[in-house]
Structure formats: C-alpha cells, structure tokens
C-alpha cells in the first residue's frame, strides 16, 4: 500500500477531559498546566512502565516527555478500554473522543515528533525521524479492521499500533477535527468546542469504533 495523504494520526481521550484540552491543548504530565483531574484511559500499568524508558532517536528524552498518537483508529487499546480486557478500567465507547491531526499539520506547526513501526512499548519496535522511513510502517495492517495475530503473521497487533510521539505539547491549533461514536455525543462535543471559542469540526465515525463486540 502506498503512503496515505494526508497521514492522519489519532489520540483517544475521555469526554470529561475535553474542556481542559480545548483550553490548554495536550501537554505532558511534566507541564505546569497539566490538570490533576485529567482522567486517564487505557492500561495504566503499561503507561507507568514505559514512562521512564528512553526514546532512542533525537530529540531523545523519556516517553513521559512525549504525547502519543496512533496512525490508525479502531485499535487494540480501544478494544481493551471498552471491554475491560486484561484488567483495564472499562469506559463506554460513547464517552471516548478522538482528537485527530496529521503529520502534515505537525510539520506546519513546527512540532517535533518521532514515529514507530509498531507499539512503542515493544522491544521489537523501531523508531524513526525521517519521512522516508514512513515506508517502514505497515499501512495495510493499520488501515485494516482485523489486527489479530495469526499463525502466519504473529506480529499484526504490534504493527497495528504504530505510533507518533510528539515532543512536550500538542497545541489545540494542531487538531484538525474530532470524532465521536454517536450523534448525541457529537452535539455535546460541538457545544464544548463553541464554548471554548473554537471552530474545530466534529464528525460521527462509527468506523473508528467497534460496531460489534
């Protein structure tokens, strides 16, 4: 598969975090404006374990100094979150919002980022900084709805979760649109965007979520 254009990237968050994010953008836990009330979703043990790992390519630093996005949606992590799989705190899909940007937008905003060819916590995963290396990302798996490992391909799940790690912060101006699971939640998100004085488009996308469990 050829490189998509634009190259969209996706960050999931709980709806409860949106008023704060619309005001401050996305920041790391080291930021003085990081909210102590931020509601984390996902596998907290994994988040804590990888926080102190080193990023092996420039600008280096720790994982905790970066904000992670996926190249694709409908990820294994979303499945974990909505099913409570492997002890992850369960959250309804209706309460999960995607913040969507693109590599092209990051470039316009002069954001510093690195990217991977798989889940960044895996020791098999490689890290890159050059656009030419985007060919190392498995776009077929990323765009597929089927990410389960198979006997012939036991590495699909890792590759499905290729990431973009953005250094220090993601200004809200970098976000190009938001995705919700239902029209009801779209209206709530639209109201929050308007209250923040912003004009970010909000779209309903069942394809970004799991319609069957």
Q: For residue range 94-116, what is the model confidence (pLDDT) as tens digits?
A: 999 999 999 999 999 999 999 99
Q: Is pLDDT at 85 greater than 90 in this prediction?
A: no
Give the per-residue pLDDT at 186. Answer: 99
Q: What is the mean pLDDT of residues 189-195?
A: 99
Task: Read off the tokens for 58.
Answer: 């420039």
Residue 64 lies in a domain: yes
Full domain range(s) for residue 134: 8-208
Mean pLDDT over each residue of the chain, to the nearest integer: 94
13 is in an annotated binding site: yes
Residue 19 lies in a domain: yes
Alpha carbon separation from 134 to 1, 47, 76, 105, 117 (Å, rounded): 12, 25, 21, 16, 8
Residue 137 lies in a domain: yes
Residue 152 lies in a domain: yes
The share of the chain scoring above pLDDT 70, in percent, equals 97
CA count, 13 A, side-chain hemisphere, 180: 17
Closest CA to 13 of 56, 61, 67, 64: 67
11 is in an annotated binding site: yes
Angle CA(99)–CA(68)–CA(118) in degrees, nearest 5?
115
Q: Is pLDDT at 213 greater than 90 in this prediction?
A: no
Q: Is pLDDT at 92 greater than 90 in this prediction?
A: yes
Residue 52 lies in a domain: yes
When divided into structural domains, the chain yields a total of 1
28 is in an annotated binding site: no
Give the per-residue pLDDT at 212. Answer: 72
pLDDT band at 50 (very low <50, low <70, confident <90, very high): confident
Residue 69 contacts by C-beta under 8 Å, 6 or more apart in sequence? 9, 10, 11, 101, 163, 164, 165, 166
Residues carrying an active site annotation:
50, 163
Residue 2 lies in a domain: no
89 is in an annotated binding site: no
Residue 195 lies in a domain: yes
Q: What is the mean pLDDT of residues 43-55?
A: 76
Residue 131 lies in a domain: yes
């Amino acid at each position: 598969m050829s490189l998509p254009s634009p190259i969209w990237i996706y960050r999931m968050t709980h709806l409860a975090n949106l008023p704060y994010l619309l005001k401050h953008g996305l920041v790391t836990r080291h930021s003085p404006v990081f909210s102590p009330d931020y509601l984390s979703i996902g596998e907290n043990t994994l988040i804590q374990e990888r926080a102190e790992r080193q990023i092996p390519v420039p600008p280096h630093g720790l994982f905790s100094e970066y904000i992670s996005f996926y190249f694709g949606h409908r990820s294994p992590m979303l499945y974990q979150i909505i099913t409570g799989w492997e002890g992850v705190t369960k959250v309804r899909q209706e309460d999960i919002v995607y913040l969507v940007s693109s590599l092209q937008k990051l470039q316009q905003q002069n954001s510093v980022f690195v990217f991977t060819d798989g889940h960044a916590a895996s020791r098999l995963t490689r890290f890159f900084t050059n656009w030419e290396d985007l060919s190392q990302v498995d776009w077929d798996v990323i765009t597929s709805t089927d990410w389960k490992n198979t006997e012939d391909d036991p590495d699909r799940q890792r590759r499905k979760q290729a990431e973009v790690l953005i250094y220090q912060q993601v200004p809200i101006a970098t976000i190009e649109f938001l995705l919700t699971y239902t029209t009801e939640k779209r209206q709530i998100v639209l109201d929050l965007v308007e209250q923040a004085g912003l004009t970010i488009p909000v779209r309903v996308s069942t394809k970004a979520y799991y319609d069957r469990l």
